[in-house]
Structure 1
Amino acid sequence: METISVILLLLLAVVLSGALARMLPIVLPLPLVQIGFGALIASFANFRVELDPQVFFLLFLPPLLFLDGWRIPKDGLFRDKGTILELAFGLVVFTVIGVGFFIHWIIPSMPLAVAFALAAVLSPTDPIAVSAIAARVPIPKRLMHVLEGESLLNDASGLVCMRFAVAAALTGTFSFTSALGTFLWVASGGIAIGIAVTWGASLANRWVARRFGDEAGSQVLVSLLIPFAAYLLAEELHCSGILAAVAAGMTMSYVERLGQSLVAARMRGGAVWDMVQFAANGIIFVLLGEQIPQIVAAAAESHGAIWMIVYVLAITLALAILRFLWVWTSLRFTLFRAARKGKAVMLPSWRLIAAASLAGVRGAITLAGVLTLPLALTDGSPFPARDLAIFLAAGVIVMSLVAASVGLPRLLKGLELPPEPSHQEEEDQARIAAAEAAIKAIERTQHELGLGRSDADLYVDASVRIMELYRQRIDGHLQTGEEAELTRRIDEIERQLRLAGLRAERDEIFQYARTRRLSDEVARKLVRELDLLEARFATG
């Protein structure tokens, strides 16, 4: 009963912290507000959430990594794959080695293997936190795509590196050759398992749907189970469950493109996954805030409070410097290769490089990873410097959030950026092709429905009216110059008028329901239809 109460309290804290973040007179990133709210809970509630590290890892990481892989824009990922791979793998190794030795140097009492584990868990970045911070000043889309791609892959590479460092701390030995072979196995096996689980679940679901029918709820539930299935199967086969979850998510995006899931499943699934992401990220940050007082107390017993702050500032600064050096060097190398190929290159402003470096905010994955450090060594003795490592990770998360929230808006404000490529032409072509396909389908269906009927002329009249709407769309998208701009303005005016009409319809239906002139069941059905139409025109 106590566990259920704690879970409900954490969910309530996530909701209240979101409302508080919107009410504050100053704009603060939501993760910072959630951390503060968690600390406030700890000051009033006399409990501490104790979670088994492996259970914590299983609960939070697979769905978050799966969703990142599912929703990341694939075109941006493949377009900037070179830059993303350099950041996601090269920078992670650079960070683990550089920051690992640095942590061991400034804190000699922390074993080198534990320092490497801490550096590895600090290497993943969190684009969700960056998006919240940069709400006041939009981040360039291409830079955001690079940060998202980097975060997706460095989550996996950083946590895999942490796994090897923890193994070295537990056994006291480390072999580079053995580690390389193990890494190839756990990486390739994890990726293969993630792909296989998603494809297998999709094929099985499709087979059942064809023979016995399907329902939206079961499809949504299957999508929720896939990341856990991929993670657990990979771990059972001694592969990387982290990479399995990421690969499963990326595969799901390709399965989704087949268009074989129910419309209701897609709509409900999107809402369910948004809730899962919001709740999981929020609970992680609230838990961080709730545990900060105990973490500080435990770590300060062996190190003075002043030194603890110094350690956090020094590690945060070291991470920022290494990231800036890597981004600057990587960019120079990329421009050099482009120039050798005869491409026109433009050196970006130092402010953009600094923004890309400052955007390396640590967040939910770092906290989830560091909390999975083992409680004890193989001989039963306490894991060395575990509380200190958790405190340092928590401090770096907070400091990186504060530094980015202060620095990013200033670096990006008024920054001259290259124009983003327009996708209007390909969007118009897709809309034209879709409208032409709709006209053909209407003609075919009209012939099939009206064949041999005495009222066939009604089917002809109805199909003519619908096809005329599609032909108007095609004509509008084929226009160029001033005519195209005028058509878009008319479409925008029509969209606003449709939205006004739909909202008036809904208000009237609610009025009928309140005065009992309409049953609740019929009212819900009509409001749902209007909501779907409004969602279509609101994003049109």
Structure 2
Amino acid sequence: MHSIEVVLVMLLAVVVSGYLTRVLPLPLPLVQIALGATIAGAFGQGVTLDPHVFFVLFLPPLLFLDGWRIPKDGLFRDRGLVLQLALGLVVFTVVGIGLLIHWMIPAMPLGVAFALAAILSPTDPVAVSSIAARSPIPRRVMHILEGESLLNDATGLVCFRFAIAAALTGSFSLVSASLTFLWLAIGGIAVGVAVTFGINLGHAMVSRLFGEAAGTPILISLLTPFGAYLLAEQIGASGILAAVAAGITMSYVELSGRALATTRVQRTAVWDTVQFSLNGIIFVLLGEQLPWIVQRAMRSVLEAGHVQAWWLVVYVVAIYGGLFALRFGWVWTSLRFGLYRGGPEAQRPSRRLVAAMSLAGVRGALTLAGVLTLPLLLADGSPFPTRDLAIFLAAAVIILSLLLGSFVLPRLLRGLEVPEAGEEERAVDHARHEAAVAAVAAVERAQHDLPEARNHPDLYASAALRVMSLYEDRLRRDPVKGIDADALRRADDAERALRLAGVHAERARIYELARNREISDAIARKLVRELDLMEARNR
């Protein structure tokens, strides 16, 4: 198949998977993996996955978007717990699982075992998001998992790089590894922040001088993560952390409010499409790699000193069990001194919560792409030992973690209580109240300052009363005055439902008029867009 045909087939598989999940009781990632394996079997070959192309093409936009949309207050509030998981747990896992793998498979050198453990240690943000879309993960737990998965990639990849160097040369320097990690982290974060601020500042200056074409801000936002990633890689820093830092910085740049409302609506739609497409293609690609990975692993099972192929299953289960056990112990300790610190349950975090957070640490295509970068030859020209076996074990652990995360996690999360911050609803009420005060003041000023208001004072006074009446409910919802905010919130929900019913009726009537050629299709599109924006505002 040609490259264009391959891309179209994968996109078609992503579309089909969206319908199949509504029919089959299976999570979306597993359906997409199955479709990818089916495509590989039907065409007799899978896509040749270049790991370097994968890292450049898929990871920057997805990591950028995750960094952009992750709630920053939750990330910074639990930063201690997130860093413990993203840094300490990764190193702990590399050492523990590396020794376990070498003990189980003596034919796998210790350096290769540590490399496999390193690439298995980071959780995958794409896989975590896919699991979360189906499982009702508590909000605070999800913020912690997202933050961990965004930051632990750099730690895992640094450990992976040095484990491979040790396997190739037979030497390892802790000082060199530490300095390299600091440069990767600090350089990557600095590049991500600088690129995002620089691009947006330059775009604002050029737009003020020459104006801008429609769609330019959206295209700039799409190119920003690639610029941050490539520049960081060019100077030897972490492109992954650069993309994450660029996304986090973008969320603060957005607070300037320079973008037009229509641009924000269109940009959200574009990024949602990009996220859905790339997430799906990643898992389809993973499925397409499986047939040849299994075949080569079956041929290389003799390298481990066993004749029976079922030993592969033993290895996979043992490795995943070790990953789960180490993560369970680390999470329990972190929660005891983090999330539950100072509370009545400070000495005993819920075992179900710990088990849920351990299962939610799923591995994804990042692990597969990383393990595929294992070199083919050693420094002396001999084949890299147990390479095919390592690739199979990584792929099988990915599948097993997705299966358990998809089927067991929802049962663990049912009725689970997690300590929450509890301030969000009050913050929302306060923000709405302050926004309403500002809106009423602006309407009053505009009522007198607009040029046409002087010519038609009565008309503008009547219009101002109608507009300001929209904010009366918000102004009455003053938390200081003790108003029943819950009752007003229920009233808002009822009003929103009635408004949506009216919008749906308007839109249906406009389509009917267009079908009967009583209005043109251009007019219909204009009016329907206005109604779509109104519906989005009331969702």
TM-score with structure 2 length normalisation? 0.92
CA distance in 2 between partners of 1:487 and 1:245 (Å):
41
Give deviations 1:69-91, integer Å, cap 9, x for gaps. 11111111111111111111000
Distance 1:485 1:94, change over 3 A: closer
Identify the match of residue 325 of structure 1 among 323, 329, 353: 329
> Which residue among 39, 42, 45 is the counterpart of 2:40?
42
Paired letter, 1:221: L
2:527 matched residue in structure 1: 526
Query: Given residue 151 of structure 1, which amino acid in structure 2 is its aligned partner?
Result: S
Report how far residue 379 of structure 1 moved. 6.2
Q: What's 1:385 paired with?
A: 386
* 8 A Cα contact 1:42 1:293, kept in partner: yes
Q: What is the match of residue 401 of structure 2?
A: 400
Match of 2:64 in 1: 66
Change over 3 Å in CA distance of 1:21–1:451 after alignment to 2: closer
Does residue 355 (structure 1) correspond to residue 353 (structure 2)? The answer is no
Deviates more, 1:433-442 or 1:344-353: 344-353
Contact 1:449 1:459 in 2 (8 A): no
Whether the 8 Å contact between 1:96 and 1:119 is mirrored in structure 2 is: yes
CA change 1:352–1:305 in 2 (3 A) is: same
Which of 296, 315, 320 is the equivalent residue of 1:316? 320
CA distance in 1 between counterparts of 2:276 and 2:466 reads 44
> What corresponds to 2:207 in structure 1?
209
C-alpha separation in 1, matches of 2:380 and 2:216: 45
SS at match of 1:372: coil
Give the letter for the 2:59 counterpart.
L
Instruction: Provide the residue aligned with 2:158 in structure 1.
Output: 160
Mapped partners of 2:415, 2:430: distance in 1: 34
Equivalent positions of 1:184-263 (< 5 A) are: 184-263=182-261
AA at the equivalent of 1:237: I
| In 2: Cα distance, 1:419 partner to 1:149 partner | 16
More deviation, 13-22/438-447: 438-447
Kept in 1, the 8 Å contact 2:135–2:406? The answer is no
Aligned positions of 1:282-321 closer than 5 A? 282-303=280-301, 304-321=308-325
Q: Is the 8 A contact 2:448 2:454 kept in 1?
A: no
Superposed CA offset, 1:261-312 (max 9, x none)? 2222222222222222222221111111112111011111020421211111
Moved over 6 A (4+): 479-482
Equivalent residue letter for 1:126: D
Q: Paired residue for 1:470?
A: 471
1:142-157 correspondence to structure 2 within 5 Å: 142-157=140-155
- Counterpart of 2:457 in structure 1: which amino acid? A
* Pairwise CA distance, 1:416: 4.6
> What amino acid maps onto 1:97 in structure 2?
V
Partner of 2:5: 5
User: Secondary structure of the residue that 1:239 maps to in structure 2?
Assistant: coil
Residues in 2 aligned to 1:85 and 1:422: alpha-carbon distance in whole angstroms: 24
* In structure 2, distance between residues paired with 1:271 and 1:375: 42
Unaligned 5+ runs, structure 1:
none
CA displacement, residues 471-517 of structure 1 (integer Å, 9 cap, x when unaligned): 34312455976754443333222211111110011111111122222
TM-score, structure 1 as length reference: 0.92
**Unaligned regions of 5+ residues in structure 2, if any?**
302-307
- 1:85 aligns to 2:86 (yes or no): no
1:115-194 equivalence runs, <5 A? 115-126=113-124, 128-130=126-128, 132-133=130-131, 138-194=136-192
Aligned residue in 2 for 1:16: 16
What's the counterpart of residue 432 of structure 1? 433
Q: Note if contact 2:64-2:244 (Cα within 8 Å) is conserved in structure 1.
A: yes
SS at match of 1:144: helix
Q: Does the aligned pair in 2 maintain the 1:61–1:368 contact within 8 Å?
A: no
Please name the residue that 2:304 is paired with. none
- 1:224 Cα deviation (Å)? 1.1
Identity of aligned residues (%): 63
* Partner SS for 2:256: coil
Aligned residue identity for 2:324: A
Name the CA shift for 1:137/1:204 in 2 (closer, same or farther; >3 Å). Answer: closer
Structure 2 distance, partners of 1:139, 1:293, is 33
Inter-partner Cα distance in structure 2 for 1:164 and 1:269: 40
Change in 2 beyond 3 A, CA 1:417/1:480: farther
1:31–1:480 distance in 2 versus 1, CA, 3 Å: farther
Give the letter aligned to residue 11 of structure 2: L
Q: Report the Cα distance in structure 1 between the residues aligned to 2:488 and 2:514, rounded to whole angstroms.
A: 39
Task: Report whether the alignment pairs 1:444 with 2:445.
Answer: yes
Q: Mark the CA change 1:245 to 1:134 in structure 2 (over 3 Å): closer, same or farther.
A: closer
Number of residue pairs matched by the alignment: 533
Q: Which moved more, 1:191-200 or 1:157-166?
A: 157-166
The C-alpha deviation readout for 1:233-262, integer Å capped at 9, x for no partner, is 111111111211111111111111111122
